[in-house]
Amino acid sequence: MEFSNRLQQLPTQFFAKLTKDVRQAVAEGRDVINLGQGNPDQPTPPHIVKALQDAAADPQSHKYSPFRGTDELKETAAAFYKREYDVDIDPATEVAVLFGTKIGLVELPLCLMNEGELMLLPDPGYPDYLSGTALAGVQYETMPLTGENNFLPDYSTVPESISDQAKLLYLNYPNNPTGATATQSFFNDTVAYAKKHDIGVVHDFAYGAIGFDGIKPPSFLQSEGAKDIGVELYTLSKTYNMAGWRVGFAVGNAQFIEALNLIQDHLFVSLFPAVQHAAAAALSGSQEPVDELVALYDRRRKTLVREGARIGWNFDAPKGSFFAWLPVPEGLTSVQFADRLLKEADVAVAAGSGFGTGGEGYVRVGLLVDEDRIAEAMQRIAKLDLF
């Protein structure tokens, strides 16, 4: 049978190709330093694993979960937001449990928009945002993120006609791929812009715990009026090294949350209760492992900047996330540069153009290998005499 038109319209999965290229190089026996991945390299903290083990042994966990998730996880998510951001969340109406936040990001255009309607996306941005537009059959316009504007969208440059048509707007800070962070003032401006043009806002807060130089990345929901027009999606993948566990949640506007819950009523019977219990343990337990993780990424960040300068590759240190956004040498496209690093230096990076046309001229580097491997990667790149 032929694939449906819906599947045929899906964009190429950028990360799948990147992973395939690295695996091929490794299969050839090459020692690849993979700086292109976004997969946390540290283990899940032991107390979270223990919570899963205990819950998995409980026969009550072997039954269907409530369709819309356990009260325990929703109440803990609400308490987490109050503790960390002083944001009041109603666990009954303002929390949706997700199989990781990627699925929520893909579902939202499906459950809030009709075919042909318009949404606004950051460029560069997380490639899987486009999966949602393709599956929902909606149109999109991009908002350029430039270094001159600290990789924040400038709403004043969005044509009035586009702003008036747009129904949904996606943001992501700390940002993938640029490592930029947002200020509360920017989120305040976002609320004002969205209310003026009747646009719903979705903030992808995947890297919310990872900020540097003493800065705690703010939540979009801390801005006055944010819950009137939007939601925030929080994943446990990065904060607690739980990427493979596939658990996260959305919080905020009750209509957005009801839409997510309704579509998921028809797609899932929520996720394994033991995973939900472990997620609650992560959110409510000691946050010391999170502090240690951020300190680890900070050491790697400083190593990257120092070793880059040593070989003449100068760039700004990321302010948040576990990614750095590095300029490509003159005369090469981002794909050419990334291909050359893999073929000639056995170093994998993600070509910036994979994140949108605004990513051309950059590569994304992950802080997800040890400091000595970061230094070795820079030494290998130095031998190519590109800087």
Q: What is the pLDDT of residue 253?
A: 98
Terminal alpha carbon distance of the chain: 51
Domain segments of the chain as ranges:
5-44+288-382, 64-284
Cβ neighbours, 10 Å, residue 125: 24
Q: Which CATH architecture has domain 64-284?
A: 3-Layer(aba) Sandwich (3.40)
5-44+288-382 maps to CATH 3.90.1150.10: yes
Q: What's the rounded mean pLDDT across residues 159-178?
A: 98
Q: What's the rounded mean pLDDT across residues 315-323?
A: 96
- Taking only the tens place, the pLDDT of each residue in 53-93 is 999 999 999 999 999 999 999 999 999 999 999 999 999 99
- Taking only the tens place, the pLDDT of each residue in 82-139 is 999 999 999 999 999 999 999 999 999 999 999 999 999 999 999 999 999 999 999 9
Rounded CA-CA distance 180/176 in Å is 8
Would 5-44+288-382 and 64-284 be classified into the same CATH topology?
Answer: no
Rounded CA-CA distance 370/376 in Å is 10
Q: Judging by DSSP bridges, how do beta strands 362-366 and 323-327 pair with one another? A: antiparallel
The CA-atom distances, in angstroms, between 281 and each of 75, 197, 201, 289 are 12, 40, 29, 13
% the chain with pLDDT above 90: 95
Backbone angles phi, psi at 323, to 5 degrees: -125, 150
Q: What's the rounded mean pLDDT across residues 284-298?
A: 98
Question: Please, what is the average pLDDT of the chain?
Answer: 96
Rounded CA-CA distance 265/66 in Å is 10
**What pLDDT band is residue 13 in, cutting at 50, 70 and 90?**
confident
If residue 34 lies in a helix (H) or strand (E), which one and from where to where? strand 33-34
**What pLDDT band is residue 370 in, cutting at 50, 70 and 90?**
very high
Rounded CA-CA distance 224/52 in Å is 37
* pTM of the predicted model as reported, rounded to 2 decimal places: 0.96
Q: Are 166 and 142 in contact (CB under 8 A)?
A: no
Rounded CA-CA distance 380/235 in Å is 34
